[in-house]
Chains A and B, each alone.
Chain A
């Protein structure tokens, strides 16, 4: 009988991870609710999405609170404009003054929730020579990607062949998570955009 009790107890213990995970998501919710009151009304930190990066680490936009962030949306299997868009993001990054660049964070968000696994993102970052400190390549649940695109004003559509039609946009959030800089297209001078991003850092220091 003792033994039986123990078995029942043990199988009950099996539940705990499940319970814990549901409990966890509730706690997460509560935290974001508390924090939400402190965010600016237009802050993208209101997003509760959990992004997974190329090292399989979880990231939330609010993790960047207090520091400006460059945001770009792309997908790994892109053979059209995305390499150009990502290289443009790198060009923008490299045009930022040396003393500031080291503090600049870049979040490259994939449209391709199916294929851009952490491994695929890691390979992409390496192949494109963008495995730079402060750069994160991420994906999330389909509706979270859609939500971010809508917030940023990025239009995209998945085609039947698995590729994505998308607009080309590099954005920067200020230290409160508000959209502060937008650079559309894949051509043109980036000097002003780089200056605008530097201003975000200077404003933050004041």
Chain B
């Protein structure tokens, strides 16, 4: 026997090992979003921008195909196994059977009617987590527009979209044509998305009515108004909510090496109260 064949024989079981190892831990991906700051509409510290550290965010929302894979490996999250503690009875109600969305045409649609618990469980399985509210908002503000008119037009369409998110008309992920500066797609225009802390500590002190929107910061700008609607809608969810307008994507901590505080950017491309230049 040639030494080379011998080596291959020796390697084969090891390769098999690797195969099994990769089965155990799902791959994590994500686009790096450099740290920076942004202004929130929440009346927390007036005038103080929120700092966000560098993190990774999925390019698109999690699809039906992705979620089916998760259910096959983790049957405790299937509609029949999931306890009411984790999801209401509308959980994945639109799927054709317990762990299948049926029509392959639906494979690339964002998965919806998933509770916060299931979304959190999925991201943990992927080696990540849900993005924090601030991370999501920060990534969403990192949009480039040619002019303030264009930003206003976009925000105005956004308000229209938020007021009528159509749960039955979801399109495949990546199909909206909307992406931020770093190529994160469909943060608007596809589905609303779960975040890790969708009810921030301040949520208890706010009543979710129209008056509250009026009292929020930044409602003097078009985008600020759209943002307020988004915050309030999000705070009205329960962790067991499973609605057709809600999907999610995952985030990942940046490794210590890529965490670079010097390359900070400030999310002020969209018209916000402090972004006077665009007004």
**Residue interface bits B90-130, CB-to-A below 8 A is 1, else 0:** 00000000000000000000000000110011011000011
**Is B23 an interface residue when CB atoms closer than 8 A count as contact?**
yes
For the complex, count residues of B whose C-beta is within 8 A of A: 41
Closest chain B residue, CB of each to CB of A150: B239
Q: Which residues 1-31 of A have a CB within 8 angstroms of B?
A: 1, 4, 7-8, 11-12, 14-15, 18-19, 21-22, 25, 29
Q: Output the least CB separation between B132 and chain A (Å).
A: 7
Q: Which residues of A contact B121 (CB under 8 A)?
A: 143, 147
Interface-side segment among B5-13, B57-65, B163-171 = B5-13
Measured CA separation A29–B6 after assembly (Å): 39
Tell me the dominant secondary structure on chain A's binding face.
helix
Q: Is the CB of A29 within 8 A of B23?
A: no
**Is B72 an interface residue when CB atoms closer than 8 A count as contact?**
no
Please report the number of residue pairs spanning A and B whose Cβ atoms sit closer than 8 angstroms: 97
Measured CA separation A147–B83 after assembly (Å): 14
Q: Which residues 210-240 of B have a CB within 8 angstroms of A?
A: 239
Measured CA separation A107–B165 after assembly (Å): 42
Q: Is the CB of B117 within 8 A of A11?
A: no
Q: Which residues of A contact B197 (CB under 8 A)?
A: 155-157
Q: Is the CB of A147 within 8 A of B84?
A: no
Q: Output the least CB separation between A109 and chain B (Å).
A: 16
Please list the residues of chain A having a beta carbon within 8 angstroms of any beta carbon in chain B.
Answer: 1, 4, 7-8, 11-12, 14-15, 18-19, 21-22, 25, 29, 32-33, 36, 39, 41-44, 46, 48, 141-144, 146-147, 150-151, 155-160, 165-167
Instruction: Given A36-B76, A36-B83, A167-B201, decide whether A25 and B116 contact each other with a Cβ distance below 8 A.
Output: no
Closest chain A residue, CB of each to CB of B238: A150
Q: Is the CB of B1 within 8 A of A4?
A: yes
